[in-house]
Amino acid sequence: MIVMRLGRVAKLALLAGTVSTCATNPATGGHMFSLISEGQEIEMGREADASIVAQMGVVEDTALQRYVSDLGLRLARSSERPNLPWTFRVVDDPIINAFALPGGYIYISRGILAHFNSEAELASVLGHEIGHVTARHSVQQLSKQQLGQIGLGVAQIAAPQLGQFLGVAAAGLELLFLKFSRDDENQADRLGLRYMRRGGYDPREMVKVYQMLERVSAASGSRVPDWQSTHPNPVDRQERINAGVAAIPADSVGGLVRRPEYLSRVDGIVFGDDPRQGYFKDARFYHPDLRFQMEFPAGWRTVNTRQLVGATSPQEDAQIVLTAHPGATPDSAANAFFGHQAVDGRPQRLQIHGLAAVEGPFTAQTQSGQVVSGAAAFIAHRGLVYEIVGIATQAAWRTQQGPVTATLRSFAPLSDPAILGVQPDRLDVVRVDRDATLVEFARRYPGPVSVHALAVMNNVDSTATLPRSSLVKRVVGRPLP
């Protein structure tokens, strides 16, 4: 996806070495051991929030952001910690995900929004995440880990043999402190039920979220986030939540569901990867928004994130990473790179597909002391300087130099109007005008996703019959050019 500014990935140095205190847990009333004051907790959240926003991006839809935020704030203000600087964001992530940071920062992915079927379901997940904050789960977790440093990000594309030279610790997002224990998860569910009921929502809707997650994890090839594996099994949770709901007095079960209202809010949101932020067609990479293209070596494993686009050779002995920098020239960016004390090489000016560029081979020492060979190019295009660095082990460089250099020089402006105009798939809510099975529905309203995916996002069985005049989600979009 690659959006601006990158440089070397943010590391969150968290406030270590603080005074230990024994505090009362605001949500549970129990005593807890915490090294972190509330002020520090908020500061930790604020710093991490900046990294999350930079790494994931937020959905640019003011009405949707406000909708989620207003609901979240209403629930949070009914909680035991109403005065935290509660912040709710819809992050631009197609994966089904929701998470909370210390201090009251809560994130809902557009992927999970596409899979909810009522406002009460959204309220239950917001309530659950609020519960992690009010019970100070992440803070306790951090205390246990003695803090120290928490690295945001894992190198999905990192080739172990190449060490940390590229500083590519950015491709994935792993928030260590978001892995909660089962007990914490169950407690967050109980608190979530409490908050959604205070908001007037029907607590039974929380069960449906776990039904949906169960369908997602049952679907092979679905994009289940890591947190699923650490969260308790959705079936167990459904049972536990059912038990929690059953314990609520009969005359106070029920409440708001707001299905049509919710569906009208998510009608039209982007579904799946957004190709405007870059996409691969085999080894060729297109970035419609930034109007460039390039060709990576065939057969390499590729990755496309907001921070970088990269490729790793099948043998993991070579790697190419593209990043973008505002406010630089090819000369200044190249000087910064080649001027580094661990790098030895002499760049030259040249033109790459008509673009001003500086390029050159080099050798460099990785953090672990290993010597690698490589080539780097710095190319000016539409107000940004693109840095493309390819490296290989010294043994592999003889064979990889050709493909790496060809990749550097494949960078080119993009002018194909079909690609420049590419649009993401979007959610579309349809009111069915007669009873139809899901299969019939998919035939009448064809789209890019399978019947199975429709079943998951509508939280019904694939064999279900949709009653006349019900609202059904589908996906609309055209194949990529």
List residues binding Zn ion (CB under 5 A).
185, 188
Please identify, using beta-carbon distances, which residue of 106 and 162 lies nearer to Zn ion: 106
| CB of 253 vs Zn ion, minimal distance in Å | 24
446 exposure class (CB count in 10 Å sphere: 0-12, 13-18, 19+)? exposed
272 exposure class (CB count in 10 Å sphere: 0-12, 13-18, 19+)? buried
Please identify, using beta-carbon distances, which residue of 182 and 431 lies nearer to Zn ion: 182
| CB of 185 vs Zn ion, minimal distance in Å | 5
Please identify, using beta-carbon distances, which residue of 68 and 188 lies nearer to Zn ion: 188
Q: Is 137 helix (H, G, I), strand (E, B) or coil?
A: helix
* 3-state secondary structure labels for all residues of 243-271: HHHHCCCHHHCCCECCHHHHHHHHCCCEE
| CB of 192 vs Zn ion, minimal distance in Å | 9
Angle at 114 between CA 113 and CA 119, to 5 degrees: 50
Please identify, using beta-carbon distances, which residue of 209 and 389 lies nearer to Zn ion: 209
Tokens representing 111?
A: 């992927």
**Where do we find the tokens 């990000």?**
153
Distance (Å, rounded) from C-alpha 85 to C-alpha 79?
13
Please identify, using beta-carbon distances, which residue of 93 and 185 lies nearer to Zn ion: 185
Cα four-point dihedral sign 142, 146, 150, 154: negative
| CB of 439 vs Zn ion, minimal distance in Å | 35
Please identify, using beta-carbon distances, which residue of 79 and 304 lies nearer to Zn ion: 79
Q: Is 53 helix (H, G, I), strand (E, B) or coil?
A: helix
Please identify, using beta-carbon distances, which residue of 100 and 269 lies nearer to Zn ion: 100
| CB of 248 vs Zn ion, minimal distance in Å | 21
Neighbours of 37 (CB within 10 A): 15
| CB of 81 vs Zn ion, minimal distance in Å | 17
| CB of 188 vs Zn ion, minimal distance in Å | 5
Distance (Å, rounded) from C-alpha 434 to C-alpha 227?
39
| CB of 178 vs Zn ion, minimal distance in Å | 8
Please identify, using beta-carbon distances, which residue of 98 and 120 lies nearer to Zn ion: 98
Distance (Å, rounded) from C-alpha 126 to C-alpha 105?
11
* 3-state secondary structure labels for all residues of 437-474: EHHHHHHHCCCCCCHHHHHHHHCCCCCCEECCCCEEEE
Distance (Å, rounded) from C-alpha 50 to C-alpha 300?
32
| CB of 49 vs Zn ion, minimal distance in Å | 18
Please identify, using beta-carbon distances, which residue of 244 and 330 lies nearer to Zn ion: 244
Kindly provide the b/e burial profile for residues 1-26, where b requires at least 16 CB atoms within 10 angstroms of the residue's own CB.
bbbeebeebbebebbeeeeeeeeebb
